[in-house]
Amino acid sequence: MYNLTMTTVSAADARKNFAEVVARAQEEAVFIDRRGEPAAVVISPEQYDRMMTALEDAEDLAAFDAAIAEEGDNIPWDQVKADLGWV
């Protein structure tokens, strides 16, 4: 599991120690600040994939909820089966 801690480094330090930033990102998020403001976050590819999967799941759930909330005519099950060629 990904560690929930994080490290913050300046952009200048990140440039000087890029290999270390990448290595640390395998264990925790590394925030890069420019002039004291967050400019970027470095994370592992595995964490990125987990985050994208979670985002897609949340979007799918929101779309499902929206579809369920829509009002409209119900299609009888017999009609659905006939439309699909199941009868």
Q: What CATH number has the domain spanning 6-69? A: 3.40.1620.10
For 15-38, b where at least 16 C-beta lie within 10 A, e where not — what string?
eeeeeebeebbeebbbebbeeeee
Measured in whole angstroms, the distance separating CA 14 from the mean position of its chain's CA atoms is 24
Whether the Cβ atoms of residue 44 and residue 2 lie closer than 8 Å to each other: yes
The full set of domain ranges for the chain reads: 6-69
- Number of other CB atoms surrounding residue 76 within 10 Å: 9
DSSP state, residue 10: E
- Local confidence pLDDT in tens for the 87 residues of the chain: 555 688 999 999 999 999 999 999 999 999 999 999 999 999 999 999 999 999 999 999 999 999 888 888 888 999 999 999 998
